[in-house]
Chains A and B, each alone.
Chain A
Amino acid sequence: MTRRIDKAAVIGSGIMGGGIAALLADAGVETLLLDIVPFNLTDEEKKDPKARNRIVQTGFDNLMKAKPALVMDKANTARIKLGNLEDDFKKLADCDLIIEVVVENLKIKQELFGKIDKIRKPTAIITTNTSGLPLQEISKGLSKEFKAHFMGTHFFNPVRYMHLLELIPGAETKKEILEFLADFGEKRLGKGIVWAKDTPNFIGNRIGVYSIVDILPTMKEMGMSFTEVDAVFGPAMGRPKTAVFKLSDMVGLDTLDHLAVNSYELLPKDERREAYKVPDWFKKMIENKWFGDKTKQGFYKKERSPEGKRVTLVLNPDTMEYVPADKPSFPCLDAAKAAKSVPEKIKAIVYGDDKAAKFAWKVTAAGCIYAANRVPEIADSIVDIDNAMVWGYNNEFGPFGTWDAIGVEKSVKRMEKEGMKIPKNVQKMLDSGAKSFYKSEKGKDYYYDLVKGGYKEIKRSESAILLKNCKEIKSNASASLIDLGDGVFNFEFHTKMNAINGEIVDFIPTALEYVSKNGIGLVIGNQAGGMPGAFSAGGDLAFMGSLAKDGKFTVINDFIAKVHDSIQALRYANFPVVAAPYGMTLGGGCEVCLGSDRILAHTETYMGMVEIGAGLLPGGLGMLNLWRKVLANIPSSIKITDLGGFFLPCFMAVAQAQVGMGAFDLKKKGFLGPNDRIIFNRDLQIGEAKKEVQKMVDEGYAPPKHDPILVMGQEVHGMVWAEMNNMKGGGYITPHMEFIAKKIAFVMSGGDIIQGTMIPEEQWMRQEREAFVELWKTENTQKMAAHILATGKPLMI
């Protein structure tokens, strides 16, 4: 029998259940979302199906309203059917996968599963999304068949954005079920799979909560404030900007408290059990219902000053009052800022001399030791522990990666000196001569097996190609050509935010020539970190800004000509080119994608041509290729007079600097066409793009021919000039923005020509170049470009 998930059910419509249902629906699974019938219905209401579904309906409504959006495409939620656990319970009998996300109460869960056991279809997989209750207990007394199909699937909040999915095998779960769900989770749902054991709070929350609660007494002891802790344990330590306490406010202090209590009660043998006993002032916060963001106050509180300015306040735990938040500075933070790589930054902090450095060292060392002592208790492999922290808490490194960064030998010496107890398994590793938890050799990654000793290869899915492990063919300071095998190569950007600069443009013909001679096709992709990260945040403005300042407009003109040649070369190369964007794909990054034969976009791709915000129009034929992409999908029998309806959205996308919020939105905006593909898992993106290239070759790829471009001509000018007049009258556009918008309209319309004319590509390119240079010649564009470079925000002039 082939196992498939045609229908799934999610029981519990809170933010987590709703998030899981949304992800399933976005991934194309028919999903039944169930919740309880409200307890407090009147006799009248008890007969009213609407009233009976009130809780699940509210859950669904909240899901639709959530910001940032939990649903990728609202249209996909048509796959979600709502119901309640009394009237619709029987529908569970049709489901291939049932995920329980109800309240964390053992008895309620046991009762629910007992009922499901009676009606589930024999093949159905049943999972619990408990964040810490033992599966053993939950499934107690259920049938053998049930237990064979039962396991834990622990998603992280917000489900759409958090990469981690912890899978927890039950004692009797069939191997086939485990493998299937790992594959389904990775490929369909796009999650990073971590195998956890059935221990309280599993991996992510065990380590993650420890890393928070352990800080509380230490900070008091060392005289660190919340803001100071957050300044240190942010990006400087490879942690997200929300650091420790802002993150806690986001997660919810009630959740945190619940997890800590759970750990304390269920982990009598934990050597750091006492750490889970949170301080009195924290308990007071819980009593006061200061749960963080959801109750609008936690460690932090946002207020408006009498002048209407936003101010951030922070709790003083001694007085339980909120005071204005300061922005602390420490020498070790300055040192970290100067350091280039994340490991260098972490080293700069933990080996610094100041109070913050000493604090960071103490907490980090304790965290590393705690994690090592958890092997094999919570996981057999350090990779699972590190991945859980990277994917579930957005840390750059997990505890073992961090330990490698600060040097295992060096840090262990200091730990010993300071009287810390070194875990036996780590001591053994060092004694064996191994000096790091990870190593890479000949394009393969290895981890140290703390249980059995010795290095083992890190196993990944076939498509999970890591560019760093592939052979580099050629490179310059900004770009590399990398061999993906089987004749497919990868063009990688590696500048700051992967911005496109002269070197990248120069490298395009070199790379294309190489692939033409030695390969079958090209992927344009990179694997920079971050969430959502940046495939390419745009073009290098500083470079052109300085040219403009010096009046070197011919150089700008020639540069754009070169950009055009490169983009055209991508399009007309005699092999397929597949772009693999994710995260921020703006300006030039977007134009490179539009110039490719096909786009394989990650679901979280935020793509758009935002040049107008920098005082410019797109100069890399993105406008042409967007228009061409839209035209390509319109039957040629559509009359030119009807094309206005297609043209205007393209024009507005550029003139309003619209950014598609995710791949589904990009489809609606025309940036992704019917040949483009959406991928849920970024880890598999390069590998899948490679497969896409191979498939295109197998299908007999031939480059497009040099067709002239059908344009709307002057008829667009009438529409746009008249509408701009209204926008100006309404105060919705500033004078220079209007000037730029009209230039965009001029270029996208093909210039001074009657509608329906097919203009040669050369004319479009010339007009785009001229408009681009003309803009740089204006003082206002130079001002806007300088402003966005300095502040990251558009100057509205």
Chain B
Amino acid sequence: MREAYIVSAVRTPGCRRGKGAFNQTRPEDLLAQALAGAADRINLDKALVEDVMTGCAFPEAEQGINLSRIAVLMAGYPITTCGATVNRFCSSGLEGIALEAMKIKAGWAEIAMGAGCESMSIVPMGGNLPRPHPDWAKKNPDVYISMGITAENVASRYNISREDQDKFGYESQMKASKAQKEKLYTEIIPTTATRFVMQADGTYKKETFVQDFDDGVRADTSLEGLGKLRPAFKAGGSVTAGNSSQTTDGAAATIVASEDACKKYNLKPLARIVAYAVAGCEPDEMGVGPKYAIPKVLQLAGMTLDQMDLIELNEAFASQSLHCIRELKLTDRMDIINVHGGACALGHPLGCTGAKLMATLVANLHRYNKKFGLESMCIGGGMGAAMIIEKM
């Protein structure tokens, strides 16, 4: 089979749901800027991109009507560039990249783009109109379970202490604030945002501004402060807002190309996509998903975990992250995991995150000159996903 190469990977900043910089910016606008930015950064002729698969966890309302195709056109791609929206909840963005990579590998496309987009400010988690199947919800309500409860389940079943979770959340903030201070997030494209501002006369006016940093990072986070937070999902529980991912708005995009296309259009391969796998687990502890998906993808690639040089392990919750890290015996390799911080500090815009972490991973492999990178996601409904890439 042919190889698929990442030639560009970018993201918008991740901004806090409700209170952040993107709270009044339409998701299509975020996505369109990510899609355009990915091509513009490498001066790629947009007409060469054949298709865009955009991951979105709640593809309804503002994110409905095939968000991907709408944003493709908004981003200035010609009508010949196609678009599809894909949903694997939190791993949707990574799924988009994997699907396009497969097409390249199969020879069904030469240049395509995987992306992710979620405005949690505008389309709430769970959607505007949740309608679980009445009979199935009575028989097996766990497939509809709240993510916070799954995090509590992981914490209690696998003895992840509140202290350990808080420490994990704290370290994520510290890594992120250091990276932000040192301007290491080179994968970010400055993004134009919209807000409706009250004028002196009391009427509202639409204004735009450019946002170029993640606004959920809190350099002043302290362990004491985290320790004071109340459990967010369960009476007497251990999962808090401080040791969970932030709910966030953002978009990200990764352009994938075949070897032929790279040569023909003089595109510099940044990384080779080695393998991708998904694995299922119990819905009521969905966060354990990566502990199955990671071994599976390693087996597919014929590799071992100690060959991985950098890991982006999505911090949906500290409890599930710590459990996966411990199960995978990575506890003494914390220095390669989420080196610029994770979702506890940078946010988790659901369907966007898979693509967002890819942009970060590609950038970091180059910054630190490492070879193999691994990205993993846990997924609502009880799944895990993992992808291995190799820096070129």
Contact = CB atoms under 8 A, between A and B. Distances in A.
A719 B132 contact: yes
A556 B231 CA distance: 43
A109 to B, nearest CB: 37
Interface stretch (A289-297, A383-391, A728-736): A728-736
A667 to B, nearest CB: 25
A713 to B, nearest CB: 8
A79 interface: no
B134 A729 contact: no
A721 interface: yes
Contacts of A641: 129
Given A721-B137, A722-B137, A729-B153, A715 B131 contact: yes
Interface string B100-115: 0000000000000000
Given A722-B137, A730-B152, A644 B236 contact: no
B19 interface: no
A782 B100 CA distance: 61
B131 A719 contact: yes
B130 interface: yes
A732 B133 CA distance: 23
Given A717-B137, A718-B134, A722-B144, A729 B129 contact: no
A725 B141 contact: yes
Looking at A644, A717, A725, which has the most chain B CB atoms within 10 Å of its CB? A725
Interface in A638-677: 641, 644
Given A722-B141, A726-B146, A729-B146, A644 B129 contact: yes
Contacts of A718: 130-134, 136-137
B84 interface: no
B145 A725 contact: yes
B235 A731 contact: yes
A719 B149 CA distance: 17
Interface in A684-732: 714-719, 721-722, 724-726, 729-732
B97 to A, nearest CB: 31
Nearest to A644: B129
Nearest to A749: B134
Contacts of A725: 137, 141-142, 144-145
Interface in B135-192: 135-138, 141-142, 144-146, 148-149, 152-153
B130 A729 contact: no
A731 B236 contact: yes
B366 interface: no
Interface residues of B, number: 25
Contacts of A644: 129, 131
A715 B135 CA distance: 10
Interface string B208-234: 000000000000000000000000011
A717 B236 contact: no
Contact of A722 (B132, B152, B234, B235): B132
Contacts of B145: 722, 725-726, 729
Interface string B230-246: 00011111000000000
Contacts of B129: 641, 644
Contact of B138 (A721, A729, A730, A732): A721
Interface in A234-265: none
Contacts of A717: 134, 137-138
Contacts of B141: 721-722, 724-725
A730 B137 contact: no
A170 B148 CA distance: 66
A726 B233 CA distance: 9
Contacts of B233: 729-730
A722 B139 CA distance: 10
A644 B128 CA distance: 10
Nearest to B235: A731
Given A644-B129, A721-B141, A726-B145, A715 B152 contact: no
B234 A729 contact: yes
A714 B137 CA distance: 11
Contacts of A716: 134
A724 B145 CA distance: 10
A166 B142 CA distance: 62
Q: Which of A714, A717, A730 has the most CB of B within 10 A?
A: A730
Interface in B10-37: none
A730 B234 contact: yes
B315 to A, nearest CB: 21
A714 B134 contact: yes
Contact of A730 (B134, B135, B136, B237): B237
A699 B30 CA distance: 57
A676 B145 CA distance: 40
Nearest to B139: A721
A729 B149 contact: yes
Nearest to B149: A729
B234 A721 contact: no
A310 to B, nearest CB: 22
A714 B131 CA distance: 10
A731 B134 contact: no
Contacts of A730: 146, 148-149, 152, 233-235, 237
A644 B130 CA distance: 9
Contacts of B130: 718-719, 722
Interface string A37-73: 0000000000000000000000000000000000000
A641 B129 CA distance: 8
A653 B19 CA distance: 29
A726 B237 CA distance: 13
A726 B146 CA distance: 6
Nearest to A742: B138
Contact of A721 (B132, B146, B149, B284): B132
A483 B327 CA distance: 80
A750 to B, nearest CB: 12
Q: Point out which of B132, B133, B148, B236 has the most chain A C-beta atoms below 10 A from its C-beta.
A: B132
A307 to B, nearest CB: 20
A726 B148 CA distance: 9
Interface centre among B135, B136, B141, B148 (most CB of A within 10 A): B141
A587 B133 CA distance: 32
Interface in B274-318: 284
A729 B236 CA distance: 11
B390 to A, nearest CB: 41
Contacts of A722: 130, 132, 137, 141, 144-145
Contacts of B237: 730-731
B154 to A, nearest CB: 12
A715 B133 CA distance: 7
Contact of B134 (A715, A726, A732): A715
Contacts of A724: 141
Contacts of B144: 722, 725
A729 B234 CA distance: 7
Contacts of A721: 132, 134, 137-138, 141
B235 A732 contact: yes
Contacts of B137: 717-719, 721-722, 725
B138 to A, nearest CB: 5
B7 to A, nearest CB: 42
Contacts of B284: 729
Nearest to B136: A718
Nearest to A641: B129
24 contacts: A715-B131, A715-B134, A717-B138, A718-B130, A718-B137, A719-B130, A719-B137, A721-B132, A721-B137, A722-B130, A722-B141, A722-B144, A725-B137, A725-B142, A725-B144, A726-B146, A726-B149, A729-B146, A729-B153, A729-B234, A730-B148, A730-B234, A731-B234, A731-B237
Given A724-B141, A730-B149, 9 more contacts: A714-B134, A719-B131, A722-B137, A725-B137, A725-B142, A725-B145, A729-B145, A729-B152, A730-B148
Which 4 A-B pairs have CB atoms at the shortest separation, nearest pair first?
A: A725-B141, A718-B132, A722-B144, A729-B149
Interface of B: 129-138, 141-142, 144-146, 148-149, 152-153, 233-237, 284
Interface of A: 641, 644, 714-719, 721-722, 724-726, 729-732
